[in-house]
Amino acid sequence: MNIVEEPGVVVSLDGNIASIAPVTQSGCQSCASSGSCGTSFLAPLFTNKQRLLVAENTINARPGDEIIIGLNRTALVSASLMVYLLPLVVLVLAAAAGEAIAQSYGLENGEVIAILSGLGSALLTFIFVSRVIRSALFSAFFKPFLIDRR
């Protein structure tokens, strides 16, 4: 199994289950222009609250320990494709289908129908993807694990 290793910090323990905060770094931190760049200025406005990963504590880590988290590379790539690529593909295909259907019926507002069918289908795809990713089957496939302490 190909794995991706990421740093993290153990936040809490519940029995043998560790809650881990992944240590994330933006590209802005290593850029020489970060002090004067508009992107680095606006980035804090759009950061989401930090999500915690849950994994079995197989390395006897304690809260506050810096650790290495392992993630299944195939699961990570699959989730990324489902979240980013699938809705985009569905958007384009549904918009083209909406335009073609509008033209076949001789409707004058083909662009409006294409826009509505594309956006509606993309929205339904986002809902579908979020349910698949939250499912127990996918969660078992995407289950992070602790590799070692840093």
29 against 109, higher pLDDT: 109
Q: Residue 93: which pLDDT band, with cuts at 50, 70 and 90?
A: very high
Domain range annotation of the chain: 3-149
Q: What pLDDT, on a 0 to 100 scale, did the predictor assign at position 53?
A: 86
- Beta-sheet pairing, 53-56 with 17-22: antiparallel
Three-class secondary structure of residue 103 per DSSP? helix
| pLDDT tens track for 19-70 | 999 887 655 555 666 566 656 555 665 555 667 888 999 999 999 999 999 9
